[in-house]
Amino acid sequence: MPYFNLTDEAIVDADISSTFQQVLDANNWYEWWAPHIEAESRGSEKLIQVNSVVEIKIHYIMTTKFLAKIKDIKKNCSISVEYFEGDFLGASQWFFEPIGGKTKIIYRFRTKPNRRLIRFLLRFLNFQKAHSAILQSGFKGLSEHLNKRANGP
């Protein structure tokens, strides 16, 4: 069974506080990560926090779904996530670093597929390339979204 240990990174053209806050707002990921990723917090909190559970859907060739539990948050520094149910199981970490008024994001994804159909389809898909394309699309969308918010329409 494949096991993924992937890392993607990018520079977001926004300060670290704005970038970090936007990532914590999982219910609005669709604003900057469409059409690939949507998420919905299972709780009533506006921003995810430790122990929040988030349902994540990834739309790429087919839709995969999984539940994520937030394990740790260090403000403007990192977010640790456990994928505990659904199409992928494992963990990820978001890291944030300030760089001259911008933010470097590093995202580490360590999971394994949890469904036979997913494992079968992965034989025909370059998962690392697809995962990176989805992440880079999101990072670009996040940067553009934060710039629009900061500079107006």
Structure-derived torsion over alpha carbons of residues 79, 81, 87, 90, reported in degrees to the nearest 10: 120
**What predicted TM-score, i.e. pTM, was given to this entire model?**
0.93
Q: pLDDT tens for residues 38-88?
A: 999 999 999 999 999 999 999 988 899 999 999 999 999 999 999 999 999
Q: For residue 103, what is the enclosing H or E element?
A: strand 102-113
| Cα–Cα distances in angstroms (integers) from residue 105 to residues 41, 85, 96, 102, in the given order | 22, 25, 5, 10
Query: Does 98 or 153 have the greater pLDDT score?
Result: 98
CA-CA distance, 44 to 119, in Å (whole number)? Answer: 34
pLDDT > 70: percent of the chain: 98
Q: What is the CATH number of domain 4-151?
A: 3.30.530.20
Per-domain residue ranges for the chain?
4-151
pLDDT band per the 50, 70, 90 thresholds, residue 2: very low
